[in-house]
Structure 1
């Protein structure tokens, strides 16, 4: 629940307290579940296009929304659920130039 250098906390993103800056917008980061994945997993699943790992995480999230009786429409469109095009907040050292 604590923000790290150059990234918000996953909790703040998930509950809607984080608002994208101009730099976030340029990095294609938008408020939603995709940004939460970005904080948690970074470039392991984000900014890699439509990949299986990311889609599995989204599927599990939607499954639990169903179990809780929350409509999937409340989760938002795929663009908000996905981090496929989002630049990682803190890229891993192995993927940094």
Structure 2
């Protein structure tokens, strides 16, 4: 069954409904207020201040243990790849 006519009717219905709702200035103000609140909520949730990262992407060259851990992690992936290629 072709769903294209259904999608176009649904899209037209949403468009007509939004035009009718936004024709009134009070409704426009309500929609704008809700939109701003939603945008601020999303911005607060994904702000950089909430991330628990302290030194991501900029390791200290003098932190030997951290550098050792990073190099071991890099070697793990290389070793895993090499083992899988040798099995083929």
Larger radius of gyration: 2
Q: Same fold (TM over 0.5)?
A: no
> Structure 1 or 2: larger helix share?
2
Give the TM-score, by structure 2 length. 0.31
Give the TM-score, by structure 1 length. 0.28
